[in-house]
Amino acid sequence: MINEIFFMNGYGLYVWSAFLFTLLSFVSLYALIKAQYEREKNKFITKFGILNSEQVAAAETQSINKEILFNINI
Amino acid sequence: MFKYFEPNKIFSITSKAPKYVLILFIIVLSIGLIEALILSPEDYKQSHSVRIMYVHVPAAWISLGIFSSITALSIIGYIFKIRNFFLISKSLAPSGFVFNIIALVTGSIWGKPTWGTWWAWDARITSMFILALFYLLYLIAWRIYKDDEKVFKITSIITILGIINVPIIKYSVDWWSTLHQPASINLLSKSSIHTSMLFPLMIMTAAFALFSILIFLMKYNTELIKIKNKGLDRL
Amino acid sequence: MYGRKVKFRFFFVVTILLILILTTFLVLKSLEENVVYFQSPSEIKNIAEIKKNKIRVGGMVKENSLSMQSTVINFVITDFKNEINVTYSGAVPNLFEEGKGVVAEGFLKDRNFFSATKILAKHDENYMPPEVKAALQEN
């Protein structure tokens, strides 16, 4: 059983490399997009931190800004 | 009708959705992998090498589907001047491109033990390779041009040029003699894949689609925050 | 109900698409010879002159035509109308067998003889477990 799963009648190397390539692509793309997201979010938080009270009030009129600060977590 | 797709209205959903999609994706992918690698039977002719189909075919389907969606969104976005459609298109592209590469690479790995060659410049493989170039062109265009009006136009043109290739990919195996076999799954006729192999294929397609949705949502959120970032600068 | 500009852009896109489809169609039509990956035995029979360059011939390996003598493999490619004899020496892919699809790359000696330098197996679009295949053959 185990032998068949790894060896696959001589096709094991091909099958496993195809599946591994797919999974590695998934992980890399996820990591890349996640990093871009974190970078942009941190930039936003930093910028929001240096606003004065008047600007904060203006920014908070947009609900989307509040959601970026409090609601997002992937 | 398009106003329901305004970023302000959907962000409360798109910002929370990714974690649920990720969980669902992992569950479906696990079932799919067990089905594809262990439970499904071997083929009478190709033996176990047929298992490569379960990553190759869904990847090819989804990369074609995403390119078609990007084109439709870009054209509608261009005609009706809907900025949000371009953001959606832009966010769809990365996973479409990666699936295109997966289809090419796994196809190559599948070709070696069955056909006897890693690569053949037949109509199907060449047209799929050209699609990857169009994806690349599309992604590069978004990096080069920063001016909105300009980048919307240029990416629309790229998708319109590229969409001509999509029916060619689909029908290449019927129109010309190719090394690649004809389609097994047809909407109108009975599929030539046995049910026991069709099931893992469908599960893997669902898993890959969920992955595209996940990457799309994360990318789309990133783009929205980028816009809001510029908004903060103007305060 | 839509503005003039919207209509204008719509027709602009439609025109571009039509031009592109037409151009692509014409280009592919004129390049047909280069787009096909291989020629059938019938097409080989009808060629005007035998050229020296490398070509590919494809079809089915005729039943009972395969013979292997040490390293040399002889077989017949058929499209059920015409046939061509192929001689080849070297390794063949796993899926190469009688009654299955094949593409041979090499040089044409005359209209009936082809000397292959590479053999590729072409499989069909049917996928099923061995038991199902066995059951089908019994019927």
Partner-chain residue, chosen from A44, A55, A71, that has the shortest CB–CB distance to B229? A44
Residue B21 CA to chain centroid, in angstroms?
17
How high is the mean pLDDT of chain C?
Answer: 88
- Which among B45, B154, B137 has a CA at the least distance from the CA of B97? B137
In tens, the pLDDT along A24-51 reads 999 999 999 999 999 999 998 888 888 8
CB C14 within 8 A of CB B163: no
Cβ <8 Å between B113 and A14: yes
Partner-chain residue, chosen from A21, A37, A55, that has the shortest CB–CB distance to B105? A21
CB B194 within 8 A of CB B42: no
Partner-chain residue, chosen from A11, A29, A43, that has the shortest CB–CB distance to B113? A11
To the nearest 10 degrees (0 to 180), the angle between helices B17-34 and B195-234 is 160
Would the pLDDT of A71 be above 70? no
Q: What is the pLDDT of residue C23?
A: 93
Quote the DSSP letter at residue B36: I
CA angle C23, C29, C31 (to 5 degrees): 100
Query: B30 is written with which tokens?
Result: 């696990």
- Residues in A touching B225 (Cβ below 8 Å): 37, 40-41, 44, 68
Q: What is the pLDDT of residue C49?
A: 79
Query: What's the rounded Cα separation, in Å, for the pair B159 and B138?
Result: 7
| Residue indicated by tokens 């292997």 | C68
How high is the mean pLDDT of chain A?
Answer: 85
Give the pLDDT mean for C49-69.
Answer: 87
CB B208 within 8 A of CB A23: no
Q: What is the pLDDT of residue A72?
A: 53
- Residues in B touching A60 (Cβ below 8 Å): none
Partner-chain residue, chosen from B75, B117, B194, that has the shortest CB–CB distance to C128? B194
The CA-based diameter of chain A, rounded to the nearest angstrom, is: 71
Query: C62 is written with which tokens?
Result: 């005729």
CA distance to partner chain B, nearest, from residue A11 (Å): 6
| Residue indicated by tokens 């035995």 | C41
Q: What is the pTM of this model?
A: 0.92
Cβ <8 Å between B106 and A11: no
Q: What is the pLDDT along chain B (235 residues), one digit of tens a residue?
A: 455 566 677 787 888 899 999 999 999 999 999 999 999 998 888 889 999 999 999 999 999 999 999 999 999 999 998 889 999 999 999 999 999 999 999 999 999 999 999 999 999 999 999 999 999 999 999 999 988 889 999 999 999 999 999 999 999 998 888 999 988 887 777 788 988 999 999 999 999 999 999 999 999 999 999 988 888 887 7
Q: Quick one: which H or E segment has residue B170? A: helix B165-175
In tens, the pLDDT along C78-117 reads 998 999 999 999 888 888 888 889 999 999 988 889 999 9
Percent pLDDT > 70 in chain C is 99
Partner-chain residue, chosen from A11, A41, A68, that has the shortest CB–CB distance to B48? A11
Q: Quick one: which H or E segment has residue B34? A: helix B17-34
Q: What is the pLDDT of residue A74?
A: 46
Quote the DSSP letter at residue C121: E
Nearest CA in chain B to A44: B229
Nearest CA in chain C to B72: C13
- Which position has the higher pLDDT, A64 or B98? B98
Q: What is the 3-state secondary structure (H, E, C) of B44-98?
A: CCCEHHHHHHHHHHHHHHHHHHHHHHHHHHHHHHHHHCCHHHHHHHHHHHHHHHH
Residue B32 CA to chain centroid, in angstroms?
18
Neighbouring chains to A with at least 3 Cβ pairs closer than 8 Å: B
Query: What's the rounded Cα separation, in Å, for the pair B69 and B85?
Result: 10
Q: What is the pLDDT of residue A70?
A: 65
Would the pLDDT of C120 be above 80? yes
Cβ <8 Å between B45 and C95: yes
Contact residues for B22 (Cβ-Cβ < 8 A; gap 6+):
A74, B214
CA distance to partner chain C, nearest, from residue B10 (Å): 26
Cβ <8 Å between C96 and B116: yes
Query: What's the rounded Cα separation, in Å, for the pair B230 and A72?
Result: 19
Q: Number of A to B CB contacts under 8 A, please give it.
A: 126
